[in-house]
Amino acid sequence: MTKEETPRKSIGARRNPESAEAILEAAYDLLLQEGYSGFSIEAVARRARAGKPTIYRWWPSKAALLLDVYQRQKREVEYGDSGSLEEDMFRLVKSLLRHWRETPSGSIFRSLIAEAQSDETAAKALADYARERRAATGQMVRRAIEAGEVSPDTDPEVVADLLASYAWVHLLTGRLDEEDGAIRKAVACIARGVLADPPRG
């Protein structure tokens, strides 16, 4: 057996940094070269020279590994505090679309969404991740409520879901190059509503 064929050593449930790095790199390269259809734990194990039990011990599912690969590639997405909720939402959506467009993260996240359609474990992993992001986005709305900019009966999570829905539909339909003006119009609809004369009280 050559050095290249020698399996990497595991150190039990605690991740070996060298092995974990090799597995994440192998998973990332596999996604880029073979796409979602060619991605499997078996293929990652072969490429990383790691045992399947080791991978499953550290990542209990294919979805968990996909999500870690996605998080590893994720650049800084802007959760600003400009004093204007509408401006903060615009910057968030713009930076997220740019991140998905300019890095492999967009295709990786689409793969995770695809996996979630047929796998309960993936669906739960995606839901847990979305819940974390919803809380982060909702914090912008809570600040605006505290500042008196937004009505106190506004549900921050509903606003977060509306923003995420706009971003996700652009990701899934390949419209990541949306112009600033179009993003601002969409954000304005979410921030201000669409009724000509919103009811009061």
Half-sphere exposure of 130 (CA within 13 A, CB side): 20
- Of the pLDDT bands very low, low, confident and very high (cuts 50, 70, 90), residue 30 is very high
Q: How far apart are CA 24 and CA 69, in angstroms?
A: 6
pLDDT of residue 75: 65
Task: Give the residue extent of every domain in the chain.
Answer: 3-59, 76-192
The pLDDT value given to residue 3: 38
The per-residue pLDDT for range 50-68, each reduced to its tens digit, is: 999 999 999 988 888 988 8
- The CATH classification number of 76-192 equals 1.10.357.10
Alpha helices in 147-179 (DSSP H): 156-172
- pTM assigned to the model: 0.78
CA-nearest of 96, 100, 80 to 88 is: 80
Contact predicate 111/36, CB 8 Å: yes
Mean pLDDT of 83-102: 93
Q: Is the pLDDT of residue 1 over 50?
A: no
pLDDT tens digits for 95-119? 999 999 988 889 889 988 988 998 8
Tell me how crowded residue 114 is: count the other CB atoms within 10 A of its CB. 15
Cα–Cα distance between 100 and 173 in angstroms, integer?
12
Q: Retrieve residue 155's tokens.
A: 């549900």
- CATH of segment(s) 3-59: 1.10.10.60
φ/ψ of residue 169, rounded to 5:
-65, -30
Identical fold for domains 3-59 and 76-192, yes or no, is no
Least confident of 39-53, 72-86, 93-107, 180-194: 72-86
**pLDDT confidence tier of residue 77, bands split at 50, 70 and 90:** confident
- Return the pLDDT at 12: 42
Contact present, 31 and 69 (Cβ < 8 Å):
yes
Mean pLDDT of the chain: 86
